[in-house]
Amino acid sequence: MSAADETATQSNATDGVVVVCGGVGAARLLRGFVGRVSAEQLTAIVNVGDDMDLHGLRICPDIDTITYTLADAVSPERGWGLDGESWQAMAMLEKLGGVDWFSLGDRDLGTHLYRTQRLSEGASLAAITEEIASRWELPLRMLPVTEDRLRTMVTTVDEGEISFQEYFVRRQHSVAVTSVRFDGSASSRPAAGVLEALRSARRIVIAPSNPAVSIDPVLAVPGVRDVLIERRSDVRAVSPIIGGKALKGPADRLLVELGREASALAVAEWYADVVGTLVIDTVDADAAPAIEALGVTPLVTDTIMAQPGVTESLAEILLS
């Protein structure tokens, strides 16, 4: 067991707060917890279904988006990757006819080089994530949900099954989807510290990430959903659907393609077995009675974190 694994196992987040995370939405929400919850008590459990191996490198977009966001180094325009990035390596790849549909900035490449080298030396992804987080002096503990290979796969009408990043980036999530599955999930095991953190936290928060492709892969790791079901009354989620639309990404379209509707009520239905309270936006206040009827307590507030003060008040509500 590595030092990071031991730390993860020992420092149970008694009275802590655990945030179940995808990428951009989760990273923005975590900003609200920083300063309200101490670094020792704040744990992010992060999706790895978006991860991929490209150019021989391991790329973990959700972990990196959270890292760069909390380090105040993220590109504000894109919400992923680093601000002030240069793209010389991509230009060379394009010239050589290499794979160039997934944009890796020159500085961002350093992260993937470091991670891949450390993996080849036998370090765990949790240990490497902690190393990177500590170099950036991040005020939280970040755990990949699993060390095992788990990949989100998307079945499209036109092309059959493709990987998540082929769907999201290469196809710009503009192809119709019929189903989603998490390859490797059945045999995956939670990373060291994941179940302990979930069991001992005073509050578990599901970030406003895409339920179908960012949160479900976390819940698909055996043991995780069971703990959330046991702890349901302490679990609060934030709806990523506001007024029938996703602020970013394809969550609204994906819900409809998967046979649901794009609404806060549909999010409540999606999470009804694992979530006791759902925070919905003020524009969706009309959905509150129907959400209540599902046995999920609705909390109505402003949730668009681009507006001043909203991230902070959202964090307060989630902690209260």
Is residue 102 involved in binding ligand FO1 (CB under 6 A)? Answer: yes
Task: Pick from 5, 69, 80, 254 the residue near ligand FO1 by CB under 6 A.
Answer: 80
Beta carbon of residue 213, minimum distance to ligand FO1 (angstroms, whole number)? 8
Is residue 22 involved in binding ligand FO1 (CB under 6 A)? Answer: yes
Q: Which phi and psi (to 5°) does residue 111 adopt?
A: -60, -45
Residues of 257-296 as b/e, b for ≥16 C-beta within 10 angstroms?
bbebebbbbbbbbbbeebbbbbbbbebbeebbeebeeeeb
Q: Give the count of beta carbons closer than 10 Å to the beta carbon of residue 184.
A: 18
> Looking at 59-67, 127-135, 147-155, 175-183, which segment touches ligand FO1 (CB under 6 A)?
59-67
Q: Of 91, 75, 93, which Cα lies nearest the Cα of 83? A: 75
Beta carbon of residue 68, minimum distance to ligand FO1 (angstroms, whole number)? 8
- Residue 239 in tokens: 């709806």
Q: Which is nearer to ligand FO1, 63 or 192 (CB)?
A: 63
> Looking at 136-144, 165-173, 228-236, 293-301, which segment touches ligand FO1 (CB under 6 A)?
165-173
Residue nearest to ligand FO1 (CB): 23
Is residue 217 involved in binding ligand FO1 (CB under 6 A)? Answer: no
Residue 116's Cβ-count burial label (10 Å; 0-12, 13-18, 19+) is middle
- Number of residues lying near ligand FO1 (CB under 6 A): 19
Is residue 81 involved in binding ligand FO1 (CB under 6 A)? Answer: yes
Is residue 50 involved in binding ligand FO1 (CB under 6 A)? Answer: yes
Task: Pick from 5, 62, 130, 147 the residue near ligand FO1 by CB under 6 A.
Answer: 62
Cite the beta strand spans of 109-202 per DSSP E: 141-144, 151-156, 160-163, 177-183
Any bridge partners for residue 182, and if so which?
152
* Helix axes 61-70 and 106-120, enclosed angle (nearest 10): 120
Q: Which is nearer to ligand FO1, 48 or 300 (CB)?
A: 48
Is residue 104 involved in binding ligand FO1 (CB under 6 A)? Answer: yes
Beta carbon of residue 198, minimum distance to ligand FO1 (angstroms, whole number)? 21
Cite the beta strand spans of the chain per DSSP E: 17-21, 42-46, 52-54, 57-59, 141-144, 151-156, 160-163, 177-183, 203-206, 235-238, 241-242, 245-246, 277-281, 297-301
Is residue 165 involved in binding ligand FO1 (CB under 6 A)? Answer: yes
> Looking at 58-66, 133-141, 222-230, 291-299, which segment touches ligand FO1 (CB under 6 A)?
58-66
Beta carbon of residue 220, minimum distance to ligand FO1 (angstroms, whole number)? 16
Q: Are 152 and 182 in contact (CB under 8 A)?
A: yes
Under the rule (CB under 6 A), what is the footprint of ligand FO1? 22-24, 50, 59, 61-62, 64-65, 80-81, 102-104, 108, 165, 168-169, 214
